[in-house]
Structure 1
Amino acid sequence: MDTFKLFSWNVRQGGGKRIERQLNEIKVINPDIIALQEMTIHGISKYRAEQKNLGYHYVIDTFELFQGSTELNGPRKYGLLIACKWPLRILAPFDIPWKEKVLGALIESPFGLIEIYNVHIPPGSSNGWIKIDTFEGIYDSLSTVCNHHRILCGDFNSPQLETNNGTIITWGQRMAKDETWRIPKWGERWDKGERNVLEGLSEFDLNDVFRLLYGFSKQEYSFFLKNRSNVYPRRFDHCFASSSLNPVEFNYLHELRENKLSDHSAVEVLFQPTIHKK
């Protein structure tokens, strides 16, 4: 095996027929590692069973990890899942307010150990500073040197915009009357929290794979934010990875969203590791 495929998707899980259609799409795509966000307690058992039937014998989820918790309701009712064709084990939760919003695993792949983190960062519009607490916790946990491969993927609900000249606009910024982007006093911590993950983790060999491959001249979107009659395209779904994994292809699978299987486009990344790490 020279390559492997990662598939990451906010499934916005619904009823039985929808789950079956989602699973059928995953079967066709045939990834080696699957990271799903916005799972529900009602559909997780079917997902786990069917994925094992498809050859993903190693499946973990946050409902299993936080079994018995009475807090996982309301905005915290959605869970995460990682499925893999290779052995894996759950890693310790991050120090964040809602610990179920990051699911980590250590995978024993043919290319060496892969540390993977599947995340679903809460939107700030409905959860306030919980979003930035989560960004800060992710950065604090991953801003370290790692001796094996690493992947960070999922739904980040950020950034606000990306420009063709390579500028990232966070949700801590506001457009002034002269149409320039400014950071108000209240937004300084917010901007830093988002930016540290979106840009800062590159200092620790966690690079934005899409931008690494295509630069800023190519614009893409994975979600459409709706406000009354206005629709705003956003690239909320990301994959950051170690350079040793040598990503060679990155695709947003829009047809999954267009076919109403979710309100998010899925992420598909092909890696061709050049280094085998222990």
Structure 2
Amino acid sequence: MRVLTRNVNGAFPHQAKDEIEAQIECLAGVADPPDLLLLNEVNQYRREFTRELIRDELGYDGIVDTLSWAHELRESDVQPHRDIGHTNGNLTAVRDADSIEHTPLELFDDTYDDADRKHVSTHYPEKILVTTYTVNGRDIKVWNVRAVPGSMKGEEKLKIFETVYNRITNDPERLRILAGDFNTPAAELPDGQPITFSDDKDPRIQDRWRTAALQILKGLGHIGMVDVFRYHWGYGTIDTLDESFGNRRFDHIIASEELNPVYCEYDPESLNHSDHAALIADFEI
């Protein structure tokens, strides 16, 4: 099973169609096309155009996205959404439409036996797309996530991290993939320790900021999930060609070790069409 995650840089409200066509062409040129395609920052104004290209040019018949949700929130007169630019969302695609099921997050969920506490705290729910992908008779819960930039959206970034972490760690599912643009860490030490963006934050929120980021990056090991890039390559200085954003690794695939990850790499060629490189991982399941 091959998985590809990529931020396609579609936040600009009226992204040109030829830019989207070039990105799809780039994806079509990937050797050994992915079985599971996860896209972030897909332009909600170009929803039908993008879905048509993904279906006709890439051959994915199973397409799930949060773009309709983003559109509805953007058009809402209810605060805070009236002041939020819900211009983009996430999209997950597979070849067989019968192998994917959208499993959206509910505000309250009987799974947690806790109706007194809501489980979606972010004002950007379109940044969290959850599906169940069935492959070789096994169900995999797939989390396609993009964290908004903390420098622009502040606490909303933490709310996305906290919602995802709490949901994943309380979910009884054994097989999981969490992937996307996390907009973190600021840097990584050779031993893999991430440096978060918490140092310049308001002291009243520094600890929460650090904890939220580290829980996503390093805090899922106790439920059997691994950073697939580090799992394959080990630790040490990251080569320039393996960086997804300047000298930072913002895009990640964190998956259940039981899925047997065997390879992971960033595709530097894809930087020609976005400010993020595509991240590709292979699993033997």
Equivalent residue, structure 2, for 1:171: 197
1:146 and 1:78 map into 2 onto residues whose CA distance is 30
In structure 1, C-alpha distance between the alignment counterparts of 2:71 and 2:9, rounded to whole Å:
21
- Residue 244 of structure 2 aligns with an amino acid whose one-letter code is S
Residue 117 of structure 1: aligned partner: 143
Secondary structure class of the residue paired with 2:163: helix
Residue 77 of structure 1 corresponds to which residue in structure 2?
87
Would you say 1:249 and 2:263 are equivalent positions?
Answer: yes
Greater helix percent: which structure?
2
> What is the aligned-residue RMSD (CA, Å)?
2.1
Residues 1:262 and 2:262 are matched in the alignment: no
Q: Counterparts of 1:166 and 1:60 in 2: how far apart (Å)? A: 33
| Higher strand proportion (structure 1 or 2) | 1
Find out whether 1:210 has 2:229 as its counterpart. yes
Report the alpha carbon displacement of residue 107 of structure 1 after superposing the two structures with TM: 1.1
User: Which consecutive residues of structure 2, in runs of 5 or more, have no partner in the other structure?
Assistant: 106-118
Compute the TM-score of the two structures, normalised by the length of structure 2.
0.82
Structure 1 residues not aligned, in runs of 5+: 175-182, 225-232, 274-278
The secondary structure found in structure 1 opposite 2:39 is: strand
Residue 21 of structure 1 is matched in structure 2 by 22
- How high is the TM-score relative to the length of structure 1? 0.84
> Per-residue deviation at 1:138?
0.9
- For 1:228, the equivalent position in structure 2 comes to none
Partner Cα separation in structure 2 for residue 74 and residue 263 of structure 1: 23
CA deviations over 1:96-129 (Å, ceiling 9, x no partner): 3121110000112125111101011011100111
Inter-partner Cα distance in structure 1 for 2:21 and 2:70: 26
Deviations 1:163-218 (A, max 9, x none): 113322111136xxxxxxxx956411110111111111111122111111112214
- Counterpart of 1:197 in 2: which secondary structure? helix
Aligned length: 253
* 2:67 maps to 1:63: yes
| Amino-acid identity (%) | 30
For residue 245 of structure 2, the aligned residue among 195, 214, 223 is 223
How far has the Cα of 1:74 moved from its partner?
A: 4.4
The one of 12, 27, 38 aligned to 2:9: 12
CA contact (8 A) 1:112 1:148 kept: no
Report the Cα offset of residue 43 of structure 1.
2.0
